């Protein structure tokens, strides 16, 4: 069976609240976390959490390594720079609009 690696868009990957929570858990950890430890934070099974981790991995947001029979995960924050860059445009946009409104109200 031939497997093809699909690269996912980072915005698609972070669209789901479960995946955002996984990113937060991995970001808050100073070590690689095994699947069972991540699963403890959710009301779903290991298979469902694993599927979310696969989507994050396809977006290059998560990397994994094998330690014996256990798979451990850690965050790769680099793809989040694309999100930050996109959001910074809107932050500047709304700051400008707020300053314009402030000036109008002060007149």
pLDDT category, 107, cuts 50, 70, 90? confident
More confident residue, 60 or 99: 60
Q: Do the strands 70-75 and 62-67 form a parallel or antiparallel pair, or are they unpaired?
A: antiparallel
Share of the chain above pLDDT 70, in %: 94
| Cα 98 to Cα 23, 83, 85, 92, 104, distances in angstroms | 31, 22, 20, 10, 10
For residue 60, is it left (φ>0), alpha (ψ between -120 and 50) or beta? left
Q: For domain 10-77, give the CATH number.
A: 1.10.10.10
* Pick from 71, 24, 17: nearest CA to 46: 71
Q: How far, in Å, CA of 36 to CA of 39, rounded? A: 5
pLDDT digits (tens, 9 = 90+) for 2-22: 444 467 899 999 999 999 999
């Amino acid at each position: 069976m031939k497997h093809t690696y699909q690269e996912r868009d980072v915005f698609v990957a972070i669209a789901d609240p479960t995946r955002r929570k996984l990113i937060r858990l991995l970001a808050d950890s100073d070590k690689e976390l095994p699947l069972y430890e991540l699963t403890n934070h959710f009301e779903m099974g290991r298979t469902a959490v694993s599927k979310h981790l696969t989507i994050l991995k396809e977006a290059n947001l998560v990397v994994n390594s094998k330690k014996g029979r256990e798979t451990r995960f850690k965050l790769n924050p680099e793809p989040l720079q694309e999100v930050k860059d996109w959001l910074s445009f809107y932050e500047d946009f709304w700051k400008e609009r707020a300053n314009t409104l402030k000036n109008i109200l002060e007149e």
